Amino acid sequence: MVELRRSSRIQNPSPPSSTEPVAKKAKASDGQSVPKLEKQLEVGDSIPDLVLKNEDDEEVQLSELASKTTYLAIFAYPKASTPGCTRQACGFRDSYESLALKHVTVVGISADSPSAQKKFITKQNLQYSLLSDPKREFIGLLGAKKTPQSGVTRSHWVFKNGKLAIKKVGISPEASFGEIGSDVDGLEEAKEEPEVFKAEDAEAAGDEAKDEALNGEDVDQEASKDGEA
């Protein structure tokens, strides 16, 4: 009886070619999955339609919040009731009235729970709302997620008519509340400058038209006199 022999190709299958996928997910050197890069909001982008909770455990739709004010200033802090975050929050508290006169709505945000935000507001007598973003979803879009696992980078942003206009990530508590007023002033100047030039140009054009009209009258009068002579 003839003995059947198994093919060597079956016994020793060839390794996969370099073009074949070796793994479905990329792995880091420590064996963990490499986190996906998040798309971040850039200047000119609209505020996302996300819903977060405030200190009263109420849902707040970001796009609706931005639609109620000309300028929406959002500042991020690592943890409520810690020294640096307290200085930052109190700085915005002390600047609140002057910013309100410039049509600026101030809102703070961190990964703290609504109850922790409530205690922070009560203890420091804050006049504005604090949003809770435990998954750091919005914080990540703003570019202030410190690491994939935890942490928030101290920052602030200004949305003008619902679009991101100012983005400052990684600043000190004093710089955060200290610069926000000048940031808004800069946006106001940028808004008014074209209108100023437009008005000046219109005024100059009107003056030129008047001069031409007066010159035309003078020429007509001289011609009339010459004809009479």
State the catalytic residues: 85
The helix/strand/coil state of 166 is strand
CA distance 151 to 111: 8
With residue 219 as reference, give the H or E element that holds it. Answer: helix 173-228
How many C-alpha atoms does 44 have within 13 Å on its Cβ side? 0
DSSP codes, 114-133? HHHHHHHHHHHT-SSEEEE-
Q: How far apart are CA 139 and CA 133, in angstroms?
A: 7
Output the six-digit token pair for 120. Answer: 């922070």
Distance CA 133, CA 112 (A): 7
Task: List beta partners, residue 152.
Answer: 145
Q: 10 Å Cβ neighbour count for 188?
A: 15
The C-alpha atoms of residue 27 and residue 73 are separated, in whole angstroms, by: 39
User: Residue for token digits 């991020």?
Assistant: 76
Helix (H, G, I), strand (E, B) or coil at 214: helix
